[in-house]
Each structure stands twice: as C-alpha cells, then as structure tokens.
Amino acid sequence: MKYVISMYTVMAMMVLVNLTSEFLLNGEYSAIASWLLIALFFFGTLFFINARYVFSKKEE
C-alpha cells in the first residue's frame, strides 16, 4: 500500500511543480520545472513497477 500512496504523492508533486511554474513564476523557470517533472515522472514509474511486483507476489 505504501507504493500506491507514494505514486499519489508523486502525482500531487507533479501538479504542484507545474502550477507553481506557470502561475507563481509566470513561466520564467519553465525549463527547470520541465526537468523536475521528468524526474518526478521517473520516480512515479519506479513506484508503479514496485507496486505491480509487490501486488503480483501477493496473489500467488
């Protein structure tokens, strides 16, 4: 269950970075925000892979 919560947290952080970049910083640091979004997407993918592995082992 901790992997699912971690995936949700990463998704919320992605939205927060995107909104902060566009509305608070007026898009001035959009390149840095894009790199952060890519890194967060990578970590979210890792959590997804771990969750699939853990949940598939519980069913067997």
Mean pLDDT by 10 residues, the chain (60 residues): 80 90 87 91 88 78
Look at residue 1 and give its three-state secondary structure. coil
What's the confidence (pLDDT) of residue 39?
Answer: 92
Helix (H) or strand (E) holding 31: helix 30-59
Residue 4 to residue 25: CA distance in whole angstroms: 30
Closest CA to 10 of 49, 50, 37: 37
HSE-CB at 23 with a 13 A cutoff on CA atoms is: 6
Domain of residue 51 covers 2-59
If one counts the domains in the chain, the total is: 1
**pTM, full prediction:** 0.75
